[in-house]
A and B are shown apart, each in its own frame.
Chain A
Amino acid sequence: MTEAALAGCAETPVLRQRGQREVFCGLTGIIWLHRKIQDAFFLVVGSRTCAHLIQSAAGVMIFAEPRFATAIIDERDLAGMADANDELDRVVDELLARRPEIRLLFLVGSCPSEVIKLDLSRAAERLSGTHAPDVRVLNYSGSGIETTFTQGEDACLAALVPILPRTAPGAPPSLLIAGALAEVVEDQMRRLLDGMGIGPVYFLPPRHALDLPPVGPNTRLLLAQPFLADTARALEARGATRIAAPFPLGIDGTTAWLRAAADAWDVPAARFGSVTGPASARAAHALDRYRPQLAGKSVFLFPDSQLEIPIARFLAREMGMRLIEVGTPFLHRQHMAPELALLPSDTALSEGQDVDLQLDRCRAAMPDIVVCGLGLANPLEAEGITTKWSIELLFTPIQGYDQAADLAELFARPLVRRTRLRV
């Protein structure tokens, strides 16, 4: 590898533009978070627009008695603040009476609730008092004015941090993995870490509201997702030490991520190799199938989830794709440093968006494949540009060794489809 490539993208200037941002707000995070924490309920306090957004994003999931809903603010609530709080109490009573199995209730702030300055943290305190000990009520903001898409998960997890139990004084080091992962991925990671003798291992968010992971000075924090700036800060404030690592996407990413944990536990290299070797070799074999379909192809990533940089790193290093522009809604320099070091140094990076200007750049570059949201995908396809819609990257298990090929396949499929169709 040349010295320039080794330098990565750490010093690369980042294009920042201001204009229309074609992105989801943080409310969307509810769609996967409610699947993850099985006895939590998410109550958005917002407008009909918020309810409509969640409905559009949740698709058919909305019919499966999901654990989320919207308290729609109406005219009467806008008239006076006291009234709005009474109304919220009434709605929460109604909700908890219908769903007695709920143990944790999140009041989720929206743009309207924030602009009218409805104090949801006081409401959460008040309602926690009313419904203790059966239900705990927390709050966070998923509003578009505060959060972009996956930042909703960050805000939710950060709201959980203050109620995590403290680790016992003098407890042995424990590993806390933050970021919602598919259960199948979580189990794989746990098996690998067990195999190396790393533990105890906890996950945030937990699968049940009452299984909260402990945190304290002996907690080593490993981020499984790149969008957890506030959560990491809150955990560090409670004494946890973050282990810097790339994110567990692709073989390289997963190995480096596991190695960061292994180093913190002084796992001997031989043991690390014997535990990760078989899964890593298997993943390499599986990736071979997709490399001919992806190598040499150029890719342009629109900002969406903050997963763009780790995914671009995987596509470039492991699949041999050419990166044209990698957009991200928000770039956390410190958390992303290990990833930036691994990106080809000529990668154009952008943070934020002016969508029309970005579309101009995209069309001019004529990429082989564009990663973008559903609002842009069909219009670009109609212009003859192959796309991969990005929201799928949040709902499909893509982390870890055994999902590396699934991740590659998500990009190979639209390209293969394009060559198959004769109409």
Chain B
Amino acid sequence: MQLTLWTYEGPPHVGAMRVATAMRDVHYVLHAPQGDTYADLLFTMIERLPKRPPVTYTTFQARDLGSDTAELFKTAARDAYDRFKPQALMVGASCTAELIQDDPGGLARALNLPIPVVALDLPSYQKKENWGAAETFYQMVRAFAGPAVPPPGSARRPNARPCCNILGPSALGFRHRDDVTEITALLGRLGIDVCVVAPLGASPADLARLGEADFNVLLYPEVGGQAAAWLARSFGQTSTRIVPIGVGATREFIAECAALAQVDPTAALAAAPSNLPWYSRSVDSNYLTGKRVFVFGDATHAIAAARVAAEEFGFTIVGLGTYSREFAREVRDAAKRHGVEAVISDDYLAIEAAVTAAQPELVLGTQMERHIAKRLGVACAVISAPVHVQDFPARYSPQMGFEGANVLFDSWVHPLMMGLEEHLLGMFREDAEFHAEAAPSHLGHAAVRPEPAPIVSGPIRWAADAEKEIGKIPFFVRGKAKRNTERFAQERGLATITVETLYDAKAHFGR
């Protein structure tokens, strides 16, 4: 047993939902108890999807336990097929259903539905969300691209125009939507077509066409790695190894794709439309030099961010870690290059201790590190899932490619004080606004939260119980409530504000 408050990753069936929700024309029937439908709101609220995830839950209850649950599953699967008419059905169990040992795959096959059924075996007590997504995507790719695998030893037939697949983007992925747009455009400038993007936006029929591409662009190894390895074995497709986050990595990625597609990268490299190199060289960025930064996230984003931080911002890496145990070795190697010890843990208290010990000036991390940093009064930017709703922005904001580099520059520098501000801070050391304890400007007035002014104004007196009552109102609306109440009392010539006056005023003004 592990004592847990925060978890960086959900259970593996949530990973499967991320693949199902990303795709078109599939439906996932999940054997799960009542309550597991909570996962729907990750997609409808955090990612703000305008549709329900294509998932049907059996939602069994205690009274169903016994022989009944298998029948319940079959009914749910049949109803889901009849209602949604998908091209393929995914079936599996959540953690509780794993314990009751119905066999979703066998039960679904027994229904003899006229569509393929992909059974997912996701061990909930060993594995987590990203593993579940990778395994699910792999099983889907095998199921639909598998029949097209050529006999061993077949040579690849080159396409007239080079083309590739983009592997890994999924639902609930951090900036996946815009990364795909950015990288597709980049490949277009190289003269490379995109055959299939998967799982995001792909149907089972699209998966069947994966083998037609010349090579694979593996954007998110956490989700697409396993499928990419199988495609390499089965179709002889090479996968890109460089994740194009940051200007340097993007340039290397261009060179890598160009080599795989046998095209000339010169024009694309010469254009390199990024503001980051100049912004980083401009004198205002001098103050960034050697800023101590702690990096934590999924392995791909953490490794990439550490490189960008060191090479393109001139920061000093004082910590690097990940919660993705599957990629611990890669992160350890990267940490060694930056001269730090890797933190491989999914226990946020261990991360908090590591951040505290490293004394960084900037934390690059997940939603959780944002809160650790806030508590420590340190600047922070988000570079990786898990993220909250504000990191599924309306505006275009990729992390990858040249526009992604621009986004990184703005979003990492913003929480730090600007150079000029830091200069002023040195000049006016004793000034109230700039003294040593003053928080960076983005933290607002976190250090000194203004309490509402003491309650005595003019001739109106607050009775003790009314003063106590208004104390129960949340601080961010207390000021307005107080003003309204006093105005109300004044207009009526009341000398004393009682609890009754408070509620009379509330009824008068509304919320």
Q: Does B161 contact A (CB under 8 A)?
A: no
B503 near A279: Cβ-Cβ < 8 Å: yes
Does A316 interact with chain B (Cβ within 8 Å)? no
Residues of A within 8 A of B5 (CB): 51, 62, 66, 68-70
Known A-B contacts: A376-B44, A409-B511. Give 7 more (CB < 8 A): A20-B37, A49-B36, A57-B38, A72-B1, A144-B33, A144-B59, A187-B469
Asked if A285 and B499 sit within 8 Å, CB to CB, the answer is no
* Contact string against B for A residues 37-58, beta-carbon threshold 8 Å, 1 for contact and 0 otherwise: 0000000010111011101110
Q: Could you mark each residue 30-59 of chain B with 1 if its beta carbon is under 8 Å from any beta carbon of chain A, else 0? A: 000111111111101100111110001111
Chain B positions 1 through 20: 1 when the CB is less than 8 Å from some CB of chain A, otherwise 0: 11111110111011000000
Judge if B124 is at the interface, Cβ distance under 8 Å: yes
B64-104, CB under 8 A of A: which get 1 and which 0?
11000000000010010001000000000011100110000
- If A71-B3, A77-B1 touch, whether A52 touches B14 (CB-CB below 8 Å) is yes
A20 to B35 alpha-carbon distance, docked (Å): 10
| Contact (Cβ within 8 A) A145 B60 | yes
A-B contact pairs, 9 of them (CB 8 A): A25-B36, A56-B41, A57-B38, A74-B2, A143-B62, A378-B45, A379-B52, A382-B51, A405-B510
Task: Select B2's contact among A28, A72, A402, beta carbons within 8 Å.
Answer: A72
**Contact: B61 with A379, CB < 8 Å?**
no
| Chain A hits for B1, CB < 8 A | 45, 71-74, 77, 84, 87-88, 90-91
Q: How many residues of A contact B (CB 8 A)?
A: 76
- Say whether A69 contacts B45, CB under 8 Å: no
Known contacts A25-B35, A53-B38, A112-B99; is A144 also within 8 Å of B61 by CB? Answer: yes
Q: A90-B1, A282-B504 are in contact. Are A111 and B33 (CB under 8 A)?
A: yes
- Judging by beta carbons under 8 Å apart, are A286 and B3 in contact? no
| In contact, A20 and B50 (Cβ under 8 angstroms) | no
Q: Which residues of B contact A406 (CB under 8 A)?
A: 511
- Interface contact B44-A374, CB-CB below 8 Å: yes
**Whole-angstrom distance from the CB of B490 to the nearest CB of chain A?**
19
CB–CB A23/B41 < 8 A: no
Q: Is A22 an interface residue (CB 8 A)?
A: yes
A-B contact count (CB 8 A): 205
| Smallest Cβ-Cβ distance to A44: which chain B residue | B4
User: Interface residue tally of chain B, by bracket?
Assistant: 35 or more
Interface bits A389-411 vs B (CB < 8 Å: 1, else 0): 00000000000001001100100
Known contacts A143-B33, A378-B50, A379-B44: A51-B507 contact under CB 8 Å: no
B10, A22: Cβ atoms closer than 8 Å = no
Q: Does B508 contact A (CB under 8 A)?
A: yes
Within 8 A of A (CB), among B100-151: 100, 124-126, 128
Flag if A23 contacts B37 (CB, 8 Å). yes
Q: For residue B37, which residue of chain A has the nearest CB?
A: A22
The interface centre, meaning the residue of A48, A51, A145, A183 with most chain B CB atoms within 10 A of its CB, is: A48
Partner of B62, one of A146, A279, A285, A381: A146
Residues of chain B with a CB closer than 8 A to A24's CB: 35, 37-38
Q: Which of A59-112 contact B (CB under 8 A)?
A: 60, 62-63, 66, 68-75, 77-78, 84, 87-88, 90-91, 94-95, 111-112
